[in-house]
Amino acid sequence: MKHTQYLIAAAAFSGALWLAGCNATPDARIQSNPAAFAQLSPQEQSMVKAGQVGLGFSADAVKLALGNPDRITLKTDATGQVEVWHYIETAYYDGAFLYGGPYWGGWGGWGRHGFWGGGWGGYWGPYPVGPVSTYDHFRVVFRNGRVIEFNQEVGS
């Protein structure tokens, strides 16, 4: 019985991932909303197909180019209120693994779980380092429903 429940859960999870990936590209988003795409100018259509955003784009055009934002914030200053769409990226350690290392006899040494007593031992196995930070890979700022600012994090 448990085995069947695990299979059903795995199938449901796989299906959810597949559905989430259906609108993962500008072409897929355009196919799912052709009316919004048809309202764009030829230059905007070309940019949307390339996954790019330009000044003056509507919210619908940005969604076609980049998808739904990961989060939205509102910012108010002396000139009024703007809406900021954040497209989040997670930075991971460079893929290396940390090793606790062995220690040999004597007074002991440092392992994965701190200082250990004398003798042979230590922790040999690698353990991965998790996410280091998250940042805005894309940030789109709207005023009155139109893009007034666009920022993209560029790799170093």
The string of DSSP codes covering the chain is -HHHHHHHHHHHHHHHHHHHHHTSSHHHHHHH-HHHHHTS-HHHHHHHHTT---TT-BHHHHHHHH-S-SEEEEEEETTEEEEEEEEEEEEE--S-EEEEEEEESTT-EEETTEEE-SSEEEEEEEEE--EEEEEEEEEEEEETTEEEEEEE----
What gap in Å lies between CA 137 and CA 104, rounded to an integer? 46
Q: What is the full per-residue pLDDT of the chain (156 aa) written as tens digits?
A: 455 554 454 445 444 444 444 568 999 999 999 999 999 999 999 999 999 999 999 999 999 999 999 999 999 999 999 999 999 987 765 555 444 454 444 444 444 444 445 444 444 454 555 556 778 889 999 999 999 999 988 765
